[in-house]
Amino acid sequence: LTPMRNAALLLGQLAGVAVVDAARLERVVAAFSVVVLAASALMFAVWPIFAVVLLAKVLHSAASCVLGPAIGAISLGLVGHAAVSDRFGRNARFASLGAGFAAISMGAIGYLVSNSAVFLITVALCVPTLFALAMIRSGEVDAERAHGGRPAPHKGHPEEPLWSLARNRPLMVFAGCMVLFHLANAAMLPLTASVLTM
């Protein structure tokens, strides 16, 4: 299952960014992703059979591919380009603290209660996440700024197609490094989480 989940995760990264960029409703897209994550966790807890677990893993991967870019777009729309590096640093700090706290608490819950309780707690934690998203008023997020604030193309200079990015050598080297990193890293994280939970 892990290779199939990782394949969906890798293929979904570009699609996730495209969905967020096309939707122009960052908070709604983020909320929908959180609901899908909750649904996939509930599927793990209630129906732990192969087909359902496979579907839940793919749903979880797809929602994760959309949630990250949505949070990035919300952050950029809230603070703008000048302060976005500080905001991303703050986001990463809280994400790391949350991941550490979640690993410890989920491991304890899995050990003291049951394996399925871990997934039910995940569903419960989606509620405050949705509440936090609801606390961000729509007027606070500048939609144009959230999507990079791209200026309109000049007359006679239409926007280049997406495939033209393939000619940008530094970008392709960076993308290749990221693919290799995720191929090496993605298989380890579920294994580590499983060991901690067991």
Could you report the per-residue pLDDT of 5-14, keeping only the tens digit for each? 566 666 777 7
Which pLDDT value is given to residue 18? Answer: 80
**Angle in degrees, 0-180, between the axes of helices 84-112 and 50-79, rounded to the nearest 10:** 150
Confidence class of residue 198 from pLDDT cuts 50, 70 and 90?
low
Share of the chain above pLDDT 90, in %: 17
Look at residue 59 and tell me whether its pLDDT is greater than 50: yes
- The residues near 193 (Cβ < 8 Å, ≥ 6 apart) are 103, 106
Which pLDDT value is given to residue 127? Answer: 93
Query: Quick check: 61 and 15 in contact, CB under 8 A?
Result: no
Q: What is the pTM of this model?
A: 0.70
pLDDT in tens, 9-45: 667 777 888 888 887 788 899 999 999 999 999 999 8
Neighbours of 54 (CB within 10 A): 13
- Cα–Cα distance for residue pair 8/11, rounded to 1 Å: 5
